[in-house]
């Protein structure tokens, strides 16, 4: 297992809250609730989902660090239904930043051995702390991409 990317992953994870806030702040308010099609997520829903997912992810980090080879239970939102947010977009952005800072504080001092700790995930042949944390970054960027894609979609396409 090559752990050489950990500093870059942690730096990137630390930067995501500022990127998210800048992206959301640059979108006209009227566009925050646009849907590309029925059941698709809005920009606001993507951003809120990122915030709401962080406690679950922190729990997974702690589980892997404290239990031997724990089983990770997948979270699979209904792809055909918009999420039912428990916070507002205004609340979500600082909540995301605060939880991400806690995650970085937890992860940064870990020794190499901790990054190698395995876990079982029913969808993957290999899983563990290193993969989980890399997936967190990829998950963030996937949602950021979807948000920007939606924002840049021509309004006549949204209304079609």
Q: Are 99 and 54 in contact (CB under 8 A)?
A: yes
Per-residue tokens: 76? 């699979």
| Nearest residue to 53 (alpha-carbon basis) of 25, 20, 29, 31 | 20
Per residue in 10-38, pLDDT tens? 999 999 999 999 999 999 999 999 988 88
State whether residue 140 is helix, strand or coil.
helix
Look at residues 38, 12, 40 and name the one whose alpha carbon lies nearest to residue 150. 40
Rounded mean pLDDT of 106-129?
A: 97
Q: What is the mean pLDDT of residues 114-143?
A: 97
CB 7 within 8 A of CB 131: no
Mean pLDDT of 133-141: 98
- Which helix (H) or strand (E) covers residue 159, if one does? none
As given in the structure block, the two tokens for residue 156 are 């006549």
- Residues 69-90 have pLDDT tens digits of 999 999 887 766 667 888 999 9
The pLDDT assigned to 81 comes to 67
The backbone torsions φ and ψ at residue 135, rounded to the nearest 5 degrees and listed phi first, read: -65, -35
Q: How confident is the model at residue 160 (pLDDT cuts 50, 70, 90)?
A: low
Position 150 scores a pLDDT of 93
- What six digits make up the tokens of 98? 């605060």
Where are the extended beta strands (E) located within the chain? none
Contacts of 160 (CB under 8 A, 6+ apart): none
């Amino acid at each position: 297992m090559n752990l050489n990317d950990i500093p870059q992953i942690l730096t990137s994870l630390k930067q995501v809250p500022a990127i998210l806030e800048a992206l959301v702040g640059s979108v006209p308010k009227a566009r925050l609730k646009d849907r590309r099609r029925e059941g698709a997520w809005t920009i606001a829903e993507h951003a809120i989902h990122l915030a709401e997912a962080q406690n679950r992810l922190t729990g997974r980090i702690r589980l892997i660090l404290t239990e031997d080879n724990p089983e990770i239970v997948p979270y699979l939102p209904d792809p055909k239904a918009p999420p039912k947010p428990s916070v507002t977009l205004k609340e979500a952005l600082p909540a995301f930043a605060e939880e991400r800072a806690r995650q970085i504080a937890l992860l940064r001092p870990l020794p190499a051995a901790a990054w190698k700790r395995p876990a079982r995930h029913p969808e993957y042949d290999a899983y563990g702390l290193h993969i989980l944390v890399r997936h967190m970054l990829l998950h963030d960027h996937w949602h950021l991409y979807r948000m920007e894609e939606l924002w840049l979609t021509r309004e006549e396409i949204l209304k079609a």
